[in-house]
């Protein structure tokens, strides 16, 4: 309200007061213009497409069709399958990334010779561009050039060295494993930062009182990590539910839509079928679902803040 | 007991390092394996003789140098534009208290929450009459907008770490705020600027979906688009594909080294996005 940054004295000349009011907006104007023009306007436009017939290759399309897309959507079995797949993809990826990320953070929290180097190496997958991570893992699963099918046969997981990405029952594990590989560093980095903020003397005091390592973990480490865990897991869930790159690169939704998630289904409708209206209708449904989920996050976040 | 625990700890670290590096190692290994050995030697940790033939072929006879140049232009320009714009807005969020500030922050948070894939179709429709599809400029504009909110929060966190007294003193001496910002505050934020450049460069270098949608010709294809097209067309030239993959990896790894020190700050500022 008041431009306090300059330690403003009362009663300034009118022109200076105007300048002070305008100043913050001059600094933020480029960002606001860009966000509104490239994100907000397309968002609103996209919402309107959901109620219109927009097909890129059909010059006669563009008319208002009301709720037709949503009626079609309610009968679209591929969409329901994509919804189920999204739950599976998101749940498995977040759980495994979090689980292995937490273990890695705990391992790196202990000082040892060569920790800096080990840390740089285990965080490296995070720097790999996602399209390359996807291709790289698709090649690893390819029996012609990749070692994984042969190893899985030796371990008795597969009966023959086939590509699991082509197997309807197993295909989803391909992108999930790639996602876990790529995403462990994110959880490890944020959890490691939270771990290092825990006061060390708490552990010493507990050790003097005779608490064993497990007791120290459950009564000191976990309660301190809980807020970080809650927020990162909840936010990461939204992000991964929307993350279609790996699936589009590795399986393109196949075989027989077994790996199609809602986000990749939207992209396929827009990119392959060029049916922008239908794609936007699915996007609207996804947006509503994510909004409902975000409400849950806001409530939980509020609870956590009140508890502190 | 203590020694056993230490051994278990080091072994666990070793397993993580191996898991993180193995796919990248395999990429490198196949990229230097001659074609005749690729199928005959099966699963082998290193080919009996290595070659740089695939790299030579990819650099001399394919369109990958063009894709590489395009990606460098797009990611570099995006990183510069985003850093310039977000240092202004990050400074505003760090230093000013003004009516509407919360609306600005809320707007930027919202852009981080909704699925960007929703915008694929409308952005295509908007850019195509402007002649910005199939153009690097179009991609740069789109990527700049997508990365600016995250970079603003990141820059804000760096400005928050610099005491206000510095520019207050300069302004008492008669400098305008903008001069103080440019000559005193910005030089102190250089590490933060480097981190922002690194984060945005990596993000723009990796972006796939919008590039696939907006670009259709070879001339303005970025590296991800070029590589995916190559993979679907010539899916038997594994050595060449992986040589191209290693080339795509190099700039990303260089920037990773640059930003490694700031990963924590970056990831917490961008916790909404990741």
CB proximity list for A77: less than 8 A, separation 6 or greater: none
Q: Tokens for A103, please give them.
A: 């273990």
Asked if B202's CB is within 8 angstroms of A248's CB, the reply is no
Residue of A90 and B273 predicted with greater confidence: A90
Looking at the DSSP assignment, which residues form a beta bridge with residue A64?
Answer: A52
Q: Tokens for A119, please give them.
A: 């840390």
pLDDT of residue A307: 67
226-285 of A, contacting B, C-beta below 8 A: 231-232, 235-236, 238-239, 241-242, 244-245, 248-249, 263, 266-267, 270-271, 276, 279-280, 283
Q: Helix, strand or coil for residue A60?
A: coil
Q: Which residues of A touch B9 (CB under 8 A)?
A: 107, 110, 112
Q: Which residues of B touch A46 (CB under 8 A)?
A: 118-119, 121-122
Q: Across chain A, what does the average pLDDT equal? A: 87
Angle at B216 between CA B210 and CA B217, to 5 degrees: 135
152-191 of A, contacting B, C-beta below 8 A: 181, 184, 186, 189-190
Asked if A39's CB is within 8 angstroms of B119's CB, the reply is yes
φ/ψ of A166, rounded to 5, equals: -100, 0
Alpha-carbon gap, residue B65 to B78, rounded angstroms: 20
pLDDT of residue B274: 36
pLDDT tens digits, residue range A187-241?
A: 998 899 888 888 888 888 888 888 888 888 888 888 888 888 888 888 889 889 9
| Residue A7, pLDDT above cutoff 60 | no
Asked if B145's CB is within 8 angstroms of A34's CB, the reply is yes
Q: Is A6 on the interface with B (CB under 8 A)?
A: yes
- All CATH 1.10.3720.10 domain ranges of chain A, comma separated, are 74-307
pLDDT of residue A2: 44
CA A28 to chain centre: 27
Helix (H) or strand (E) holding A238: helix A222-241
Residue A306 pLDDT level (bands cut at 50, 70, 90): confident
CA A154 to chain centre: 34
Reading phi first (left if > 0) and then psi (alpha if -120 to 50, else beta), residue A195 is in: alpha
Looking at the DSSP assignment, which residues form a beta bridge with residue A55?
Answer: A275
Of B17, B97, B122, the CB nearest to A5: B97
Asked if B21's CB is within 8 angstroms of A42's CB, the reply is no
| Structural contact between residues A164 and A174, judged by C-beta atoms closer than 8 angstroms | yes
Alpha-carbon gap, residue A105 to A193, rounded angstroms: 9
Most confident of the ranges B7-11, B53-57, B187-191: B7-11
Q: Helix, strand or coil for residue A75?
A: coil
CB neighbourhood size of A44 (10 A): 10
pLDDT of residue B270: 55
Task: State the nearest Cα–Cα gap between B60 and chain A, in angstroms.
Answer: 22
pLDDT of residue B254: 85
CA nearest neighbour of B150 among A231, A242, A239: A239
Q: Which residues of B touch A49 (CB under 8 A)?
A: 121-122
pLDDT of residue A79: 94
Alpha-carbon gap, residue A63 to A51, rounded angstroms: 9
Above 0.90 for ipTM, yes or no? no
With CA atoms as reference, the chain A residue closest to B44 would be A147
Angle at B177 between CA A38 and CA B93, to 5 degrees: 40
Residue B22 pLDDT level (bands cut at 50, 70, 90): very high
| Structural contact between residues A261 and A83, judged by C-beta atoms closer than 8 angstroms | no
Q: Across chain B, what does the average pLDDT equal? A: 87
pLDDT tens digits, residue range B122-166?
A: 999 899 899 898 899 999 999 999 999 999 998 998 898 888 888
pLDDT of residue B273: 41
Alpha-carbon gap, residue A128 to B229, rounded angstroms: 19
* CATH number, domain A74-307: 1.10.3720.10
Q: Is A18 on the interface with B (CB under 8 A)?
A: no
Q: What is the largest CA-CA distance in chain A?
A: 84
Which of B11, B22, B23 to mutate against chain A (most A CBs within 10 Å)? B23
pLDDT of residue A12: 66
Half-sphere exposure of A287 (CA within 13 A, CB side): 21
CB proximity list for A242: less than 8 A, separation 6 or greater: A263, A286, A290, B115, B116, B117
Alpha-carbon gap, residue B227 to B217, rounded angstroms: 13
| Structural contact between residues A282 and A269, judged by C-beta atoms closer than 8 angstroms | yes
- A61-75, A250-264, A292-306, range with the lowest pLDDT: A292-306
Domains and CATH numbers, chain B: 1-51 (no CATH), 62-269 (1.10.3720.10)
Alpha-carbon gap, residue B271 to B268, rounded angstroms: 5
CA A121 to chain centre: 22
Q: Tokens for B108, please give them.
A: 């930027």
Residue of B139 and B115 predicted with greater confidence: B139
pLDDT of residue A173: 95
pLDDT of residue A11: 59
CA nearest neighbour of A242 among A116, A120, A130: A130
Alpha-carbon gap, residue B153 to B144, rounded angstroms: 15
pLDDT of residue B258: 76
Which of A132, A177, A193, A241 to mutate against chain B (most B CBs within 10 Å)? A132
Asked if A124's CB is within 8 angstroms of B253's CB, the reply is yes
pLDDT of residue B233: 78
Residue for token pair 């922002």: B196
Most confident of the ranges A101-110, A202-211, B106-115, B161-170: A101-110
């Amino acid at each position: 309200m008041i431009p306090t940054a300059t330690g403003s004295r009362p009663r300034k000349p009118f022109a200076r007061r105007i300048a002070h009011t305008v100043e913050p907006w001059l600094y933020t104007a480029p960002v606001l213009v860009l966000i509104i023009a490239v994100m907000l306007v397309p968002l609103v436009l996209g919402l309107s497409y959901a109620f219109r017939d927009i097909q890129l290759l059909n010059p006669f399309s563009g008319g208002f069709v009301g709720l037709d897309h949503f009626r079609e959507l309610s009968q679209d079995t591929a969409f329901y399958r994509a919804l189920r797949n999204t739950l599976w993809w998101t749940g498995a990826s977040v759980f495994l990334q979090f689980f292995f990320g937490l273990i890695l953070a705990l391992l790196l929290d202990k000082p040892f010779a060569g920790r800096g180097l080990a840390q740089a190496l285990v965080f490296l997958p995070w720097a790999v561009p996602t399209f390359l991570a996807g291709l790289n893992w698709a090649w690893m699963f390819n029996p012609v050039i990749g070692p994984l099918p042969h190893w899985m046969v030796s371990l008795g997981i597969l009966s023959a060295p086939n590509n699991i990405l082509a197997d309807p029952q197993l295909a989803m594990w391909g992108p999930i494993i790639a996602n876990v590989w790529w995403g462990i560093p994110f959880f490890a980095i944020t959890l490691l930062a939270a771990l290092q903020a825990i006061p060390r003397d708490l552990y010493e005091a507990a050790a003097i009182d005779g608490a064993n390592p497990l007791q120290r973990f459950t009564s000191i480490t976990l309660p301190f990590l809980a807020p970080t865990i809650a927020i990162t897991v909840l936010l990461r869930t939204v992000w991964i539910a929307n993350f279609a790159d790996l699936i589009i690169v590795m399986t393109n939704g196949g075989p027989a839509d077994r790996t199609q998630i809602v986000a990749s289904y939207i992209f396929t409708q827009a990119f392959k079928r060029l049916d922008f209206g239908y794609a936007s209708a699915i996007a609207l449904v996804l947006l509503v679902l994510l909004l409902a989920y975000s409400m849950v996050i806001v409530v939980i976040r509020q609870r956590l803040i009140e508890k502190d | 007991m203590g020694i056993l625990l230490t051994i278990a700890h080091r072994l666990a670290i070793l397993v993580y390092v191996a898991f993180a590096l193995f796919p990248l190692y395999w990429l490198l290994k196949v990229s230097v394996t001659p074609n005749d050995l690729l199928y005959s030697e099966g699963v082998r940790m290193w080919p009996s003789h290595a070659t740089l033939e695939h790299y030579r072929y990819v650099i001399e006879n394919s369109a990958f140098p063009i894709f590489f140049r395009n990606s460098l232009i797009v990611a570099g320009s995006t990183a510069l534009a985003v850093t310039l714009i977000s240092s202004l807005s990050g400074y505003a969020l760090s230093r000013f208290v003004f009516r509407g500030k919360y609306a600005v922050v809320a707007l930027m948070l919202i852009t981080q929450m909704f699925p960007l894939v929703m915008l694929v179709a409308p952005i295509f429709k908007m850019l195509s009459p402007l002649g910005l599809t199939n153009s690097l400029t179009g991609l740069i504009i789109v990527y700049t907008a997508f990365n600016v909110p995250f970079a603003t929060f990141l820059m804000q966190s760096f400005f928050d770490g610099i005491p206000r007294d510095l520019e207050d003193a300069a302004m008492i001496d008669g400098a305008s705020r903008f001069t103080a910002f440019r000559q005193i505050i910005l030089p102190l934020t250089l590490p933060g600027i480097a981190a922002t450049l690194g984060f945005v460069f990596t993000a723009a270098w990796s972006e796939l979906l919008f590039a696939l949608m907006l670009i259709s010709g070879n001339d303005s294809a970025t590296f991800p688009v070029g590589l995916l097209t190559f993979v679907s067309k010539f899916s038997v030239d594994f050595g060449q594909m992986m040589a191209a993959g290693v080339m795509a990896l190099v700039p990303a790894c260089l920037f990773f080294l640059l930003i490694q020190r700031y990963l924590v700050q970056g990831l917490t500022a961008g916790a909404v996005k990741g």
